[in-house]
Structure 1
Amino acid sequence: MSAPDVFAPVDLGPVRLRNRTVKAATFEGRTPHGEVTDELIAYHRAPAEGGVGLTTVAYLAVAPDGRTHAEQIVVSERTLPGLARLADEIHATGAAIAGQVGHAGPVANGRSNGVPAIAASRMPSPLSMQMIRSASERDLTRVTKAYVDTARLLVRAGFDVLELHMAHSYLISSFLAPALNRRRDRWGGPLERRARLARQVARVVREEVGDAVAVTAKISVSDGFAGGVTTDIGLDLARLLQGDGHLDALQLSGGSSLMNPMYLFRGAAPVSEFADTMPPLVRWGMRTPVGRSFLKEYPFEEAYFREKAMEFRRELAMPLMLLGGINRLDTMQQAMADGFDFVVMGRALLREPDLVNRLRAGVARKGICIHCNRCMPTIYSGTRCPEWAAGEIIPVVRRGE
């Protein structure tokens, strides 16, 4: 059989997308008061007008203690009108909209949020310099219900896809990683118990939304640190999730926001730029050898998760989304030939929001992102590409041109 056309319409569960391209959930830095702003809408409207099939809003917290910091949106009746306006704006372009739904767990800054952070097990927080407490049974019941409430509200807001965040050392991921989960109760030990929260959340969300929207999950092909989620663990989790039958697709990611963020962001490590955004004490620490080791540098290569993701593709029947350094048309076509169902793009679309239209129209064969990662520290002041902001103007290609 021939590989599908990456630019042709496709179904994601109950949702029809105009093509197989997805804008990844990358924190926008445009919600200073935890609400949808005109700037946030413009940020997502750009790649939507630029041709993507699905744009993903990050990061929609299920509870106040689930934010990475206080500026993030908590899905609630208060934020519902703004989220509905955002969905309407994206739909007007012909694209669909996803919400990345999650609880940050140990990646949450309890000092910023004003609410203590929780994780699978007690641990110190390098973000708040506080202790993160081990989630209690009451916490896990509360958080599970919060996922249900969030799903219900996002359906009302008109979102098409819910992406459940199960990677990057966020709360669900912290239960999956042996080094972060030292529990001896029904939530710890063998993977079947460590995966209980992931499977429980997927089940209750699907039971709540039915076929009103698509439900996907972001999982890890490898966390990139000792004691984290390995490829084998990620694959075993994927088998469990596939067997449960509650999800329409899995998005394959990697790295840890807490322990090894550059495992996800291959290319240059912008240590100095990150340090400049931090308070004086943290800034000093980041410039020490220990601080610099936190932002490890991994050489960039096109589709750098492909090899590990292929292990998932060989073992699973459900739809899979390939993520990680996808910038070229031939890479997207190879992903289709490999059996992946969607391609997920992040930095390439930050650099060129209309890249999908360019590739589809034959105006370009690849993106021009240089993988310097200087976009990463801009999350504190509005996520953007410094190269683009520096002045190179590229004519916009709109759909149909």
Structure 2
Amino acid sequence: MKWKSLFEPINIRNLTLPNRVMMGSMHLGIEGIPEKEDAMIAFYAERAGENGPGLMVTGGISVSPEGDGGHHFLGFYRDQDLKTMNRLTTSVHKEGGRIAAQLFHAGRYAYSELTGIPSVAPSPLRSPIHKEAPTELSELDILNLLESYAEAGRKAKEVGFDAVEIMGSEGYLINQFLSPTTNKRTDQWGGSFEKRTRFPLAVLQAVRKAVGDDYPVIYRLSGMDLVPHSTTHEETLAFAKLVEENDADLLNIGIGWHESTTPTISMMVPRAGFIQIALDIKEEVAIPVIGSNRINDPVLADELLQKLDMVSMARPFLADSNLLRKSKNQSLDQINTCIACNQACLDHAFEGKAVSCLVNPRAGREHKWVYKKANTLKKILVIGGGVAGLEAARSHAELGHTVVLYEASEAIGGQFNLARRIPIKKEFDETVRYYTTELKRLGVTVNLNHKPSTEELLEHSPDLVVLATGVVPRKPVISGVERAVSYPEVLSGAVAVGKKVIIIGAGGIGCDLSHYLIEKGEHEILMLRRNGRMGEGLGKTTKWAMLQDLKKHGVKFRTNLHYEEITEEGLVITDSTTGKKEHIEADTVVLAAGQESNLPEEYNRLTDSGIQVAVIGGARLAGELDAKRAIYEGAKIAFEPQSIQTKQHQKDGA
């Protein structure tokens, strides 16, 4: 296709950006850790190459000690961190890239139990997602903070950052001052709209004075807080004009606070689902405006750039560091698209883990998982075309090995081919498309509808056989279980489902199945599990939204029970608390009670024949479906062949 605006340059003060894409701020969970410094720098350096994003923004860098968001933050107040930042900017510039520092203060979102310093905020109001109430900032505290922001701006410029971004969105400190929900002050820093804008504008003024007139200053502005009784739409538009009047160069529009109960960046949110607020702000100001949130497609980005000045794509660069290079080369089908699953990025960040990517586990590991031809080229046979096998085939082929893949069914994709039938998981189509393209590009031989015997595999004299044979649904021991149907039968459309549906199993698969049935028609859905909570195993940043949607559609849930019998009319259970038996009527009972490893015993003979064997994905460890671990293991055995365990397969953290 012909790009209209994506690769048009834009000037920001003395800085020229070669394209209209910003890699938005992402906390990597490795900042401030000396032994992870190489990993952090390699992450940014790889994305800074030719046809990388016009500008990258770091994860938040704290302007003062109490402003850290938790573990692993860089701080402008630490000399050692300044040396790290200087090394970072030097590496990015060496690759031809441009990078901005985000000036950050968490406010009441700081984790005082991790930092050891009490959190602070405009008013002593506890966030619903935190345990402790913050300390109210005094007048002197506020003045000191303004100087901290100014000093951070000065230092950012000194260590080589090309610009700074003031974090005034997502419910952090500056946003807390602006919102009447969190600012209950009665002095000059709170109360009326004018007074609530005073601190944010004072920060902007202090930073501008510190960095000078020739240096770009971006303001990350909250377009919608999505929390009750917060800043109004009219106030947001008025504030945007005030930010412009106070000498900001770019407005980067953020959406939603972390405590919001409205999904903003998960897969269930439509692409560019909140872009209208950025368009509204663009109508009010003359300075450039950046649109963000769920923009993962360069074609969509180019369309949005007909009305906006830039777009922010953060997680898409986790999924594919070469997204723009592939776009410029018209190789769109080679892009590893972000599917907004959050499982290895945001979920990891909120758990204090290093950030990576479900569809690209190499993210965050670029320093050690290097794309270069292997010294010794091997013949690799991969059994199973689910995502574990696909990634094993792709990674080995990328390193120059000869790879043959066998898939017993008529198509690659495995469990993803079921998941992509679920309305909120249509993004999984992109991953299957990506692997289809990659295997063809890399010359992997793909044999469909074929389950090879041990003898056939041995005839090829392979150096390594990868067993990625996946899982089969677990059939629980319940009287009359033959009357039930399995979740693959339902998702594939092989069986019809009646109006009243009981789902045995309320983990991730049960929740997905409920979403599928909701979309298909008017069903009365009851999810059951012997014990535990609904949705256990789902990611922290997506679970609440998925369960909220199920409840909104009338899905019911019960736990603490025993299954007695599946009958023609439904299911007999015993309540574990009361001991009372109960018959629940249902037209269809669906089994979604986990999986078992699908590892044919005949392949044990491969090891006996002296062939190196790697067992990965669900074949190694069934449990709840875990695409993150499966893809990670597929990549790891290619980049770290010494990690392969043939005789004993231990659980390896992803």
TM-score bin, normalised by smaller chain: 0.7 to 0.9
Q: Secondary structure at the match of 1:188?
A: coil
Contact 2:41 2:88 (8 Å CA) reproduced: yes
Partners of 1:57 and 1:261 lie apart in 2 by: 26
> Residues 131-210 of structure 1: matches in 2 within 5 Å?
131-210=133-212
Structure 1 residue 310 and structure 2 residue 312: aligned? no
Report the equivalent of 1:344.
312
Contact 2:5 2:306 (8 Å CA) reproduced: no
Structure 1 residue 386 and structure 2 residue 387: aligned? no
Q: Structure 1 36/136 Cα, relative in aligned 2: closer, same or farther at 3 Å? A: farther
Q: Secondary structure at the match of 2:44?
A: helix
Matched letter for residue 65 of structure 2: P
Structure 1 vs Structure 2 CA RMSD: 2.1
Q: Secondary structure at the match of 1:115?
A: coil
Report the equivalent of 1:249.
250
Deviates further, 320-329 or 3-12: 3-12
Matched letter for residue 51 of structure 1: G
Q: What is the TM-score normalised by the length of structure 1? A: 0.85
Deviates further, 367-376 or 111-120: 367-376
Contact 1:66 1:102 (8 Å CA) reproduced: yes
Partners of 1:25 and 1:66 lie apart in 2 by: 17
Q: CA deviation at 1:130?
A: 2.2
Contact 1:51 1:95 (8 Å CA) reproduced: yes
Partners of 1:187 and 1:356 lie apart in 2 by: 43
Q: 2:94 pairs with 92, 95, 116, which one?
A: 92
> Residues 22-101 of structure 1: matches in 2 within 5 Å?
22-31=22-31, 33=33, 37-49=37-49, 51-76=52-77, 77-101=79-103
Matched letter for residue 386 of structure 1: L
Q: Secondary structure at the match of 1:78?
A: helix
Matched letter for residue 387 of structure 1: V
Q: CA deviation at 1:168?
A: 1.1
Report the equivalent of 2:459.
none
Q: Secondary structure at the match of 2:16?
A: strand
Q: 1:369 pairs with 334, 338, 349, which one?
A: 338
Runs of 4 or more off by more than 4 Å in structure 1?
125-128, 393-396
Report the equivalent of 1:293.
none
Deviates further, 329-338 or 360-369: 360-369
Contact 2:6 2:302 (8 Å CA) reproduced: yes
Matched letter for residue 243 of structure 1: E
Partners of 2:34 and 2:265 lie apart in 1 by: 26
Contact 1:34 1:71 (8 Å CA) reproduced: no
Q: Structure 1 230/360 Cα, relative in aligned 2: closer, same or farther at 3 Å? A: farther
Q: Structure 1 386/214 Cα, relative in aligned 2: closer, same or farther at 3 Å? A: same
Report the equivalent of 2:537.
none
Contact 1:179 1:228 (8 Å CA) reproduced: yes
User: Any idea what the Cα deviations from partners look like across 1:191-215, whole Å, max 9, x if unmatched?
Assistant: 1110101110111111111134210
Q: CA deviation at 1:321?
A: 0.8
Partners of 1:305 and 1:345 lie apart in 2 by: 14
Q: Structure 1 382/156 Cα, relative in aligned 2: closer, same or farther at 3 Å? A: same
Q: Structure 1 387/21 Cα, relative in aligned 2: closer, same or farther at 3 Å? A: same
Deviates further, 195-204 or 385-394: 385-394
Q: Gapped runs of 5+ residues in structure 1?
A: 268-298, 397-401
Contact 1:159 1:213 (8 Å CA) reproduced: no
Q: Structure 1 20/373 Cα, relative in aligned 2: closer, same or farther at 3 Å? A: same
Q: CA deviation at 1:18?
A: 1.8
Q: Structure 1 32/205 Cα, relative in aligned 2: closer, same or farther at 3 Å? A: closer
Q: Secondary structure at the match of 2:60?
A: strand
Q: Secondary structure at the match of 1:386?
A: coil
Q: Secondary structure at the match of 1:123?
A: coil
Report the equivalent of 2:458.
none
Partners of 1:309 and 1:97 lie apart in 2 by: 23
Contact 2:119 2:134 (8 Å CA) reproduced: yes
Q: Structure 1 265/42 Cα, relative in aligned 2: closer, same or farther at 3 Å? A: same
Contact 1:155 1:212 (8 Å CA) reproduced: no
User: Any idea what the Cα deviations from partners look like across 1:152-177, whole Å, max 9, x if unmatched?
Assistant: 11111000010000011111100111
Partners of 1:329 and 1:130 lie apart in 2 by: 42
Partners of 2:117 and 2:227 lie apart in 1 by: 27
Q: Structure 1 248/4 Cα, relative in aligned 2: closer, same or farther at 3 Å? A: farther
Matched letter for residue 347 of structure 2: P
Structure 1 residue 335 and structure 2 residue 335: aligned? no
Matched letter for residue 10 of structure 1: I
Q: Secondary structure at the match of 2:241?
A: helix
Matched letter for residue 198 of structure 1: P
Higher relative contact order structure (alpha carbons within 8 Å, sequence separation ≥ 6) = 1
Partners of 1:33 and 1:157 lie apart in 2 by: 18
Partners of 1:319 and 1:363 lie apart in 2 by: 29
Q: CA deviation at 1:96?
A: 0.3
User: Any idea what the Cα deviations from partners look like across 1:72-98, whole Å, max 9, x if unmatched?
Assistant: 111133321110110011111211001
Q: Structure 1 34/135 Cα, relative in aligned 2: closer, same or farther at 3 Å? A: farther
User: Any idea what the Cα deviations from partners look like across 1:38-90, whole Å, max 9, x if unmatched?
Assistant: 11111212322261111111110000001111421111333211101100111
Matched letter for residue 66 of structure 1: G
Q: Secondary structure at the match of 1:91?
A: helix
Structure 1 residue 220 and structure 2 residue 222: aligned? yes
Matched letter for residue 74 of structure 2: I
Partners of 1:261 and 1:360 lie apart in 2 by: 38
Q: Secondary structure at the match of 1:221?
A: strand
Q: CA deviation at 1:188?
A: 1.1
Contact 1:328 1:367 (8 Å CA) reproduced: no
User: Any idea what the Cα deviations from partners look like across 1:121-175, whole Å, max 9, x if unmatched?
Assistant: 1112556622211111111111100011111111110000100000111111001
Q: Secondary structure at the match of 2:166?
A: strand
Q: 1:359 pairs with 318, 322, 327, which one?
A: 327
Q: Structure 1 70/383 Cα, relative in aligned 2: closer, same or farther at 3 Å? A: closer
Matched letter for residue 64 of structure 1: P
Partners of 1:261 and 1:91 lie apart in 2 by: 40
Q: Secondary structure at the match of 1:217?
A: strand
Partners of 2:69 and 2:17 lie apart in 1 by: 30
Contact 1:36 1:83 (8 Å CA) reproduced: no
Percent of counterpart pairs with the same letter?
27
Q: Secondary structure at the match of 1:143?
A: helix
Q: Secondary structure at the match of 1:163?
A: strand
Contact 1:62 1:75 (8 Å CA) reproduced: yes
Partners of 2:163 and 2:41 lie apart in 1 by: 17
Matched letter for residue 93 of structure 2: H
Count of residues in Structure 1 that have an aligned counterpart in Structure 2: 360
Q: What is the TM-score normalised by the length of structure 2? A: 0.53
